[in-house]
Structure formats: structure tokens, C-alpha cells
Amino acid sequence: MSKLGIIGGSGLYNIEGLSKEKWIKIKTPWGNPSDQILEAKFANQSFCFIPRHGRGHFIPPSNINFRANIDALKQRGVTDIVSISAVGSLRETLEPGKFVIVDQFIDRTFARKKTFFDDEIVAHVSMAHPTSKSLMDACEASIVKCKIPYQRGGTYIAMEGPQFSSLAESQLYRSWKADVIGMTNMPEAKLAREAEIRYASISMVTDYDCWHPNHENVDVQQVIKVLLENAAKAKKMIKDIIENYQNYIDISDPAINCLDVAIITDPKKRTKKTINKLATIAGRVLKK
């Protein structure tokens, strides 16, 4: 049985028009998630939602407890995550207001906990293809239906933040042929894979990064204006994804059993304490 989780970024702190809404406080072995988890229904489909920065946007990118967010969603039975975030554009053709269905990442963050497997039990999951094709298909169908300009496929640079890029950095990332730049999809995508959750990422372009001669000084107020316009479009898209994503589920997706070939630690070295800590994330393989 599949269940959708939505991680909402900047501007997406609530979604209107839902039924049976309930905010639930979740405890995790990794600390508190960004906020309570919203469980609700739309078009008779149950789903979960978590505002990545907390309602009111009070958690900066480096302080987001990504591990707790993923663990909390999995505790509620989430099998598929659609992550939505605001980004800067590194390409002339990706103008503000356009959405990008991301399929690759370059992780430039350095101050974050990036794995669930950092104590006693070591696991190496593949990140060659970090997003789920079936979820990307579902997202694309909804974007088309909502008549939102978009690009399917693109590389997301994850920077530490909270400052925006220097001009030299922006030009470097463009030379790498990256498409968009943001501060929140890593280590989120890595942790979703470790948790055996299918993952898709939709980037909403708010501005050109500072490489663009008309955007040398990225202004937060300017970004917020486009961000709110994007959020209104994103909420319509999210509702359509909730209603229809079940039609695209691929039970052969490699994410759902990737831990079968990822854990390298000798079972004799795995203590009960650590196995219990990883119960939600890896209980399927550790408690065999």
C-alpha cells in the first residue's frame, strides 16, 4: 500500500481545501522534525505534509532536521515523497516562474548530518539515479494539466547557505552545466533513499542566480513576490498529484529495497540499541 508525503519548501506552509486535517506530533530517534505532520485527505486520498522550514519559516536550511523529517514521514507510512522547493536559475531558458522536475543533484553542503547509518551500522546506498521515474511521471502529468511552464530533467546544486552565491561560485556552477541552485534538497534526497522511500523533486524558479546581469544582487523581497506566485500554482499541482499519483506507482523501483545490498556491517557488531534506533528506517532488513 503506497502513501504520499509532501515536503513543502518556501511559501508552502499550508494547503487549502483539504478534509480530515490533523496535525500530529511525532517523536523520532533523531530529534524533532521541522513541524508536526499534517495528515489529511484530498479527493479521498490520504497523504502527509510537512513544512520544511516550519510554519512561519523559522528554520534556516542548515538547521533543518532532515533525518527527523524523513523518519517521521516513514513512521506515518509514507512510501513516496514529492519535495517542492524554491530555487535560483543557472540557465537563461529557466526563467522565474518555471518549474523543473529535477533528476540529478550535486551536493555542496558541508554542515549537515547526511546519513542514518553513522553509528555501528554502515550502509552504502546507490545515488546514481536519486529520483523515481514513476513519481516524476506523476509530477509531469500534473504540471501539464495545471498548465505550468516546466522542464523535465535537470541538475540541482545544493549549497549550504543561508547566504546566496558569490558571482564566482555562480559562474562555476554554470560551467558544470547545472540547471538550478537551492539549499534544501540535500541531504533530503539521500536520506529518503536510505529510508527506501521513492523520491521526486520539483524546483520552482524564483530568480536568476547572480550570474545574470539583471540579477547581480538577489533581493529577498523580489524573490518572495515570485515565490508566492509559484506557491499558488504549486498548491493546484499538489492536489492533482495527490489525486492521481497512485496511477503511476512502480513497485519495481530500486529505492524500495535498496538496503538489501547496502548494509556492510557484520551482524555480530550490530547492537540492539542501534537496531532499535533504526527500526523505522531499516527495520525491514535489520530485524530479519
Catalytic hit among 207, 219, 253, 260:
207
Catalytic hit among 71, 103, 179, 209:
209
DSSP string, 57-126: T-S-GGG--HHHHHHHHHHTT--EEEEEEEEEE-STTS-TT-EEEE-EEEE---SS---S--SS--B---
- Check if 80 is active-site: no
Can you tell me the distance from the alpha carbon of 168 to that of 173, in angstroms, rounded to the nearest whole number? 9
Q: What grid cell was written down for 59?
A: 528554520
Question: Could you tell me which residues come within 8 angstroms of residue 217 by beta carbon, excluding any fewer than 6 positions away?
Answer: 210
- Check if 107 is active-site: no
Which run of H or of E encompasses 199? strand 198-208
SS3 state of residue 4: strand
Can you tell me the distance from the alpha carbon of 194 to that of 263, in angstroms, rounded to the nearest whole number? 10
Can you tell me the distance from the alpha carbon of 125 to that of 123, in angstroms, rounded to the nearest whole number? 6
Question: Could you tell me which residues come within 8 angstroms of residue 262 by beta carbon, excluding any fewer than 6 positions away?
Answer: 123, 124, 125, 126, 194
Which run of H or of E encompasses 200? strand 198-208
Active site residues: 207, 209
